[in-house]
Amino acid sequence: EVQVVESGGGLVKPGGSLRLSCAASGFTFSSYSMSWVRQAPGKGLEWVSSISSRSDYIYYADSVKGRFTISRDNAKNSLYLQMNSLRAEDTAVYYCARAKVDSSGYSNFDYWGQGSLVTVSS
């Protein structure tokens, strides 16, 4: 069974840092691109960042570029999101999502974790 489980969320002060982790199981982690998607309280979904299977392609939303860093350790079946210089507007549930490549060669999100809440507040 495919599973992705986020951890590392919590309360942090503005300007602080936090590192999210996503533990994957039930599939060959090293064969899939992975992404982070967030959802502010009562709001819609916002894509944050994506990383290819071998970490050779990395993308960020403009809202987090220069502050967040996505990485992965294929030996540990884990995805990470290092979040620095956090702002109140970064408060959200952060989801880890697996990206499946379809017949077109493009990848879409097929499995999502349960999410990890990050609250940025003084």
Partner 1 sequence: DIQMTQSPSSLSASVGDRVTITCRASQDISNYLAWFQQKPGKAPKSLIYAASSLQSGVPSKFSGSGSGTDFTLTISSLQPEDFATYYCQQYSSYPRTFGQGTKVEIK
**Residue 104 backbone phi and psi in degrees, to 5:** -80, -15
Counting contacts by CB under 8 A, is residue 66 touching partner 1? Answer: no
Among 27, 115, 117, 119, contact with partner 1 (rule: CB under 8 A): 115
What is the pattern of x (binds partner 1, CB under 8 A) and - over residues 13-52? ----------------------x-x------xxxx--x--
Among 66, 75, 103, 122, contact with partner 1 (rule: CB under 8 A): 103
The beta strand positions in 8-67, using DSSP E, are: 10-12, 18-25, 33-39, 45-51, 58-60
Among 70, 79, 95, 120, contact with partner 1 (rule: CB under 8 A): 95
Tell me, what amino acid is at 94?
Y
Among 20, 24, 107, 118, contact with partner 1 (rule: CB under 8 A): 107
Q: Which residues of 72-89 are buried (b: 16+ CB within 10 A; e: fewer)?
A: bebeebbbbbebeebeee
Backbone CA torsion sign across 80, 38, 62, 10: negative
Nearer to partner 1 among residue 56 and residue 75 (C-beta)? 56
DSSP letter at 84 equals -
Give me the residues that bind partner 1 (CB under 8 A), please.
Answer: 35, 37, 44-47, 50, 59, 61-62, 95, 100, 102-104, 106-115
